[in-house]
Amino acid sequence: MRENPLVLHVLGARPNFVKAAPVVRALGELGVRQGIIHTGQHYDALMSDVFFADLGLPEPMANLGVGSGTHAKQTAALLVGLEEVFQEHEPDLVVVYGDVNSTLAAILVCAKLGIRSAHVEAGLRSFDRGMPEEVNRIVTDSLSDLLFTTSPEALSFLAREGVSPDKVHFVGNPMIDSLFSALPGLDPAPIVERLAIPTRYAVATLHRPANVDTPEAARELVDAVLDVSRQIPVVVPIHPRGRTRLAEAGLVDGPAVKVVDPLGYVDFLSLVRGASLVVTDSGGVQEETTMLGVPCLTVRPNTERPVTITHGTNRLVTPALLPAAAEKALADGASTPSGELPPLWDGAAGPRIARVIAAWLKGDNLAPASQGTRAE
């Protein structure tokens, strides 16, 4: 290892930025030399640039600007771009986050070039390989040298797949760190006033391929959301992915549905904090609503975040069952089965991850994951 090793963080989409910010900050406090590579997978300024500002992330060392495309085209562009960046900067460790195509591409390039890698949010599984993200998770975890898990069940999933426990560290959820930091400034009133919406409202975020990539699926989903809007006004920050398909299916601005552009981190979470209900197919939103105590209905047959159901406010629903589930959630309000947040959702995951990485860079031996939280 070099005397002054370099850590590069590869970020491609807005959930990556939220997870990375606490890790980048904590590594900086430990004096670790680091840089950010922005792949531009989320190329819209409202999907990326504003998140850098809201989260206090430093300017990227490089922005590949790969943009959208099919999985093959996007991943191919990422492979070429990241290989050039890694060869130029020669990192000692590459840290990837979540399960997007940028994560997969970075891990593959690291494996080919012999660069060590770490995966934050390892071990999550939906057990649905029809989801592109599930394939990305499995490949990323199988090739990473360090794996940081956000929930206890991830440890058993990785063990079942033959991952050595010496690589695995249960550290908690850095996305919750970012939420803890932002919490004092999350005021729904300004965004409610700016969007000119009632003070009682629901929020919907919808972009998963299974929900929006075919006219039939999009129509079923939009019909269900329109049914919910007859119970409560619905605000829909529209993701670029699926925007056209959802509009063609009838999701347009109207008296009971407010369709808006993507929001920045603080604005979006302020909106969610004031919501009576959230409808989503996003992984991160399931976690954020759990932390904020807002009822969440996830329009998917499965989730890689079951802890948001056992310890949170999340429920899985089909489009057909969404209106009835919304009616019940609105009547019941927020409630958590266990009455407490998931383990290690305490705002200190970033520092735990940073301590493990700093020790690893120095060559220190670390206790196996089975002995508890190895970053402690």
Residues identified as active-site: 207
- Measured CA to CA, the distance from residue 122 to residue 157 in angstroms comes to 10
Residue 278: strand pairing partners: 203, 296
| Token code pair at residue 193 | 């006033």
Pick from 222, 204, 203: nearest CA to 212: 222
| Token code pair at residue 293 | 């105590």
Pick from 171, 180, 175: nearest CA to 352: 171
Taken as a whole, the chain contains a residue count of 376
Residue 167 gets which letter from DSSP? G
Tokens 């932002």 belong to 182
Cα(first)–Cα(last) distance of the chain, in Å? 24
Is 191 strand, coil or helix?
helix
| DSSP line for 240-305 | STTHHHHHHTT----SSEEEE----HHHHHHHHHT-SEEEE--HHHHHHHHHHT--EEEESS--S-
Pick from 12, 27, 32: nearest CA to 350: 27
CA distances from 12 to 18, 178, 189, 330 (A): 11, 17, 31, 35
CA distances from 238 to 103, 212, 259, 362 (A): 23, 12, 7, 45
Q: What are phi and psi of 207, to 5 degrees?
A: -155, -5
